[in-house]
Every structure is written in structure tokens, then in C-alpha cells.
């Protein structure tokens, strides 16, 4: 599920930037992008918590080191790119 949330966050982020370039005042896409980014991180955390509850430490050791790096990158990219969209909207005023 966290993968779906991550893909939706990326899609809404791209739509947000495109709407900012076209000078449209639709900030809902930025909100949705950041919301799905937060849901991605929370759902991944919940997945790890479930694995801990059933003592699936092999699964945790396989998934967490790799995915945590990607989550850091995606959250940072989401913040930066949504910030660029805000900057573009202010510049176009």
C-alpha cells in the first residue's frame, strides 16, 4: 500500500508543478502530494511494526535498509518540488 501512496504523491507533485507553470491557482495538488507523502511514510512504518509483531526480522532486514533511503529521497524531493511550485506561483503574481 505504501508503494501506491508513493506513486500517487509523485503524480500529484508533477500535476502541481505543471499547474504552477501554467499559472493556475490550484493548490490542492500540492496538498495532496504532501498528504500522500506523509501517508507513504506512515504506511511503511505500520508495515515494519506489523513485521516486528510477528517476529519477521528477516523481512525487516531485507526491506528497511533499502526502502528507508528511498523514503528519505522521496520526502526530500516532495518538499523541494512542492516548494518550487509555491515559488513559481508567487513569482507569477
Answer whether residue 11 shows pLDDT above 90: yes
What secondary structure does DSSP assign to 20-46, as a single string? HHTT---THHHHHHHHHHHHHHHHHHH
pLDDT attached to residue 15 = 92
Question: What's this model's pTM, rounded to 2 decimal places?
Answer: 0.82
How far is it, in rounded angstroms, from Cα 90 to Cα 25? 10
Query: Which residues contact residue 48 at a Cβ distance below 8 angstroms, ignoring those fewer than 6 apart?
Result: 60, 63, 64
* Three cell numbers, residue 54: 510477528
Q: Is the pLDDT of residue 8 over 80?
A: yes
**pLDDT level of residue 12 (50, 70, 90 thresholds):** very high
What pLDDT, on the 0 to 100 scale, is given for residue 84?
Answer: 87
State residue 78's pLDDT score: 87
Residue 92 has pLDDT above 80, yes or no: no
pLDDT in tens, 27-79: 899 899 999 999 999 999 999 999 999 999 998 998 899 888 888 988 898 88
C-alpha cell at 28: 490542492
Amino acid at each position: 500500500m505504501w508503494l501506491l501512496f508513493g506513486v500517487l504523491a509523485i503524480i500529484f507533485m508533477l500535476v502541481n508543478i505543471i499547474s504552477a507553470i501554467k499559472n493556475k491557482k490550484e493548490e490542492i495538488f500540492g496538498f495532496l502530494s504532501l498528504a500522500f507523502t506523509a501517508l507513504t511514510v506512515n504506511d511503511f512504518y505500520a508495515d515494519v511494526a506489523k513485521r516486528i509483531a510477528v517476529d519477521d526480522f528477516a523481512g525487516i532486514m531485507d526491506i528497511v535498509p533499502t526502502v528507508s533511503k528511498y523514503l528519505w529521497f522521496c520526502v526530500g524531493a516532495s518538499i523541494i518540488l512542492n516548494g518550487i511550485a509555491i515559488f513559481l506561483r508567487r513569482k507569477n503574481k
